[in-house]
Chain A
Amino acid sequence: MSAHKDKDPRIHGIKTKIRVVPNFPKPGIMFQDITTLLLDPQAFRDTIDLFVERYKGKNISVVAGIEARGFIFGPPIALAIGAKFVPLRKPKKLPGEVISEEYVLEYGRDCLQMHVGAVEPGDRALVVDDLIATGGTLCAAMNLLERVGAQVVECACVIELPDLKGRERLHGKPLYVLVESH
Chain B
Amino acid sequence: MASQGGQDPRLAKIASSIRVIPDFPKPGIMFQDITTLLLNPEAFKDTIDLFVERYREQNISVVAGVEARGFIFGPPIALAIGAKFVPMRNPQITGEVISEEYSLEYGTDTMEMHVGAVQPGDRALIVDDLIATGGTLCAAIKLIERVGAEVVECACAIELPELKGRDRLGDKPLFVLVSSDI
Q: Indicate if B21 sits at the interface (CB-CB under 8 A).
A: yes
B117 adjacent to A68 (CB under 8 Å): no
Chain B interface, >50% SS class: mixed
Cα A24 to Cα B67 in complex, Å, equals 20
In the complex the two chains form, what is the Cα distance from A48 to B72 in whole Å? 14
Q: Mark B67-106, 1 if CB is under 8 A from A, else 0.
A: 1110111011011001111110000000000000000001
Q: Which chain B residues border A40 with CB–CB below 8 Å?
A: 84
Q: Which residues of B contact A28 (CB under 8 A)?
A: none
- Which residue of A has the minimal Cβ distance to B40? A84
How many Cβ-Cβ contacts under 8 Å join chain A to chain B?
103
B28 CB–A CB distance under 8 Å:
no
Partner of B114, one of A35, A76, A89: A35
* Contact bitstring B9-50, A, C-beta under 8 A = 1, else 0: 000000000010100110000010101001111001100100
From known contacts A71-B72, A79-B48, A95-B24, infer whether A41 and B83 are also in contact, taking CB-CB under 8 Å: yes
Instruction: Tell me how far the C-beta of A42 lies from the nearest C-beta in chain B, rounded to whole angstroms.
Output: 9
The DSSP consensus for interface residues of chain A is mixed
Residues of A within 8 Å of B76, CB to CB, are: 75-76, 79
Report yes or no: B85 in contact with A79, Cβ–Cβ below 8 A.
Answer: no
Q: Residue A21 at the B interface, CB < 8 A?
A: yes
> B21: which A residues are within 8 A, CB to CB?
95-96
Measuring CB to CB, which residues of chain A are less than 8 angstroms from any residue of chain B? 21, 24, 31, 33, 35-36, 38-41, 44-45, 48, 65, 67-69, 71-73, 75-76, 78-79, 82-87, 89, 92-96, 115, 118
- Please name 5 pairs of A and B residues whose Cβ atoms are closer than 8 Å in the assembled complex, sorted by A: A24-B106, A68-B71, A69-B71, A93-B68, A96-B21
**B residues with CB within 8 A of A:** 19, 21, 24-25, 31, 33, 35, 38-41, 44-45, 48, 67-69, 71-73, 75-76, 78-79, 82-87, 106, 108-110, 113-114, 117
